[in-house]
Amino acid sequence: MTSEPTQTTVVSVDRPTDWWKSAVVYQIYPRSFADSNGDGTGDLPGIFSHLDYLAQLGVDVVWLSPVYASPMDDNGYDISDYQDVDPIFGTLEELDLLIAGLHQRGIKIVMDLVVNHTSDEHPWFIESRDPDSPKRDWYWWRPPRPGSEPGTEGAEPTNWESAFHGSAWQFDERSGEYYLHLFSAKQPDLNWENPEVRRAIYDMMKWWVDRGIDGFRMDVINLISKDELTDGEPPPGRTRVSCFSFTANGPRLDEFLSEMNAAVGLDARNLLTVGEMPGSTIETARRATDPANHELNMVFTFEHVSLDMVPGGSGKYDLVPLSLPALKKNLDEWQQALADVGWNSLYWDNHDQPRAVSRFGDDSPEHRENSAKTLGTVQHMHKGTPYIYQGEELGMTNSYFTAIEHYRDIEAINYHASAISLGLEVEAVLHSLSIKSRDNARTPMQWDDSSHAGFTDGIPWLPVNPNYVTINAAAAIEDPNSVFHHFRKLIELRHDHAVIVHGRFELLLPDHEQIWALTRSLDDQVLVMIANCSSEPASVPPEAIPALAGARVLLATHGDSTTLNLEPWESRIYLLG
C-alpha cells in the first residue's frame, strides 16, 4: 500500500512558534490546477511544474485539497485509503517530490484531513457493513423508525437532510439497518465516540507528519461529535431538517480536538491547524483557537459566506443581495472576538464557494481587475491568516453555466433534482446554481491563452472558462499592474510589516454603504486602509479617518492618492509613523 519516503526527497523546513501568523496560504484544488498527462484531470506532476509560479507569487504555504485514493464521488472528499495517492493524481513518490520541491522553495504544505467520514469503499466501512464485525460500531448504524416499513420513505431513523440533499440515512438491505451520511451516501460518517476510531485516525495523521508535511486543514471537523440522534422540526413545506443543526459543535468537540492535538503532537511540532467549521460561532471559535486549550490554530467560519442567502431559508440557493455594512459588521465581530484570544482565518473563496470577484466584487470587464485587487486588499488588511484560492490572484470569475448538463458537482446535481421535485421553477433553480454552485470555483486554472488555457492537452474534466483568452497567468505576469502583482505585493507587505500581522484592528465607517475603512495599530505605527467597495465613485469623509499628512502609500489600485475621492473599486493602504 505505502512506501517510505526516501532520504533524498525529504527536505525539512523550520517551523518556529506561531509561524503561521505571518503566513499566506494558497489553496490548490488538484483536479483543476494543471494536468501533466493529457487525461483532462489535474495531477501532482502538473502542480510540480508550476512551483516557480507559487514562489514568484510569494506564498508561504500550500493547502492541497485531497489527493488520496478515492472513488471520487465528491472529488476526493470521499477517501478509500488515507495513506495512498489516487492514481488519477499520481503516486506517493510524486507527492514526496512535491513536498520536497515546495520545501526547497521555502513553501510549507498543509494536507486536507477528511475524517468526519470515509468513502463507503474504505476497508473500514466495507468491514463495518457486516453486523457481526468488530468495526460495526466504527460508523453510525441504526435500526429503522419503530413501526415503519424498512427502506421506505419516512422509515429513516431521523428526519435529517444531508448537506447534499435527500435523507442523511442510507438503508442497507443486508442488515436491515441504516447508516448515517451527512454528505453523500458514499461518505458514511465515522463514529468518533469509539476510541479505536480516534486512535486509527491519530496514527494516520502521525504517519503524514513523519512524511514531512506542515499541518492539516480539517474538513468539517466540528461535525465529529454528534449530539442526540433525534428528529427536528422541518421548515414550512419541507419534510426534513438540515443535519448540521444536530451535528455541529457537539458536546465532545473540544475534548476530541485537544486529544488529537496531544496524540499527534500538533502544537508540540508547530504544525498549522485550521478547522473547517460550518455552523461555528464566535464562541466555538474562541474555544477552539484559544492557545491554552491546545485544539486548533484557527477555524474557517461560514458566517460571512452565508450573508447572501435568505436567513432561515432552505439553504445557500435562496439568494438575497449582499449588504456591505452587514459584511463589514460580521468580519468586525470576528476581529473583536478573536483580538486577544485565538486567531482568525481570512477567506473569500475556496473550492466550495463561488468566485470572489463575481460574488463580492464586480466581474464586468470594466471593474473586474480593480474589484479583485480591492477585495484582496480588504482581506489581507484584516488581522489573521489570509487564504488565496487558486485563480483568485488572477481575478478568475464564475463560469455561469446555463444547463444542468454542464455541472459535475454532486451537490449541484442533487440540488437540481431535489428542487425540481419540490416544484421549484427550472429557470430559478438554474439561476441560483449559476450564481452559487461549487463548480464556479472548479473550472480549470487559466495558465495562458493556448487551447484549454494551458491546463491540459486533452479534454478538461470541466470546461475552461472562455474568458481565459484574456484572464490568464501568463498575461498577468507580463502586466505590472495586474491582479497577480497586486496579490504578490500584498503578500510582500505582510512579510515586511509587523503591523499587518499583529496590529490592533479597528473598523471605521461601519454603516457606510460603499466605503470599507479600517486601521491597524502597533506601537507608534498606524496603517490606514480605505477601499471603495462599489462600482460607483465614493468619497471618504476626512473626519472619519486619521489625518494622512506625511503618510506613505504602501499599495494602491490607482495612481492619484491626493484626494479622498475614490474611483469605483479604488483602494489604498497608507502607513503613518
Q: Which residue ranges make up the site for ligand TEU (CB under 6 A)? A: 74, 77, 114, 163, 183, 219-220, 276, 278, 316, 351-352, 411, 438
How many residues can be counted in the chain? 577
CB atoms within 10 A of CB 291: 14
With beta carbons less than 8 A apart as the criterion, state whether 158 and 230 touch. yes
| DSSP conformation letters of 42-107 | --HHHHHTTHHHHHHHT-SEEEE---EE---TTTTSS-SEEEEE-TTT--HHHHHHHHHHHHHTT-
How far apart (Å, rounded) are the C-alpha atoms in residues 135 and 190? 11
Reduced to 3 states, what is the DSSP secondary structure of residue 332? helix
With beta carbons less than 8 A apart as the criterion, state whether 89 and 30 touch. yes
User: Shortest gap between Cβ of 188 and ligand TEU (angstroms)?
Assistant: 12
How far apart (Å, rounded) are the C-alpha atoms in residues 116 and 140? 12
User: Shortest gap between Cβ of 187 and ligand TEU (angstroms)?
Assistant: 6
Which is nearer to ligand TEU, 262 or 310 (by Cβ)?
310
User: Catalytic residues, which ones?
Assistant: 219, 276
User: Shortest gap between Cβ of 390 and ligand TEU (angstroms)?
Assistant: 14
Going from the C-alpha of 358 to that of each of 32, 208, 353, 371, the distances in angstroms are: 19, 36, 11, 9
C-alpha cell at 489: 505585493
Which is nearer to ligand TEU, 220 or 528 (by Cβ)?
220
Which is nearer to ligand TEU, 98 or 221 (by Cβ)?
221
With beta carbons less than 8 A apart as the criterion, state whether 274 and 296 touch. yes
- Sign of the dihedral through C-alpha 508, 510, 514, 520: positive
Which is nearer to ligand TEU, 243 or 338 (by Cβ)?
243
User: Shortest gap between Cβ of 245 and ligand TEU (angstroms)?
Assistant: 13
With beta carbons less than 8 A apart as the criterion, state whether 421 and 412 touch. no
Which is nearer to ligand TEU, 165 or 383 (by Cβ)?
165
User: Shortest gap between Cβ of 278 and ligand TEU (angstroms)?
Assistant: 4
Q: Which residue has the cell 490554530?
A: 297
Q: Parallel, antiparallel, or unpaired for β 160-161 and 81-85?
A: unpaired
Quick one: angle between helices 483-496 and 368-381, nearest 10?
Answer: 20
The secondary structure element, H or E, covering residue 274 is strand 272-276
Half-sphere exposure of 77 (CA within 13 A, CB side): 22
C-alpha cell at 244: 448540521
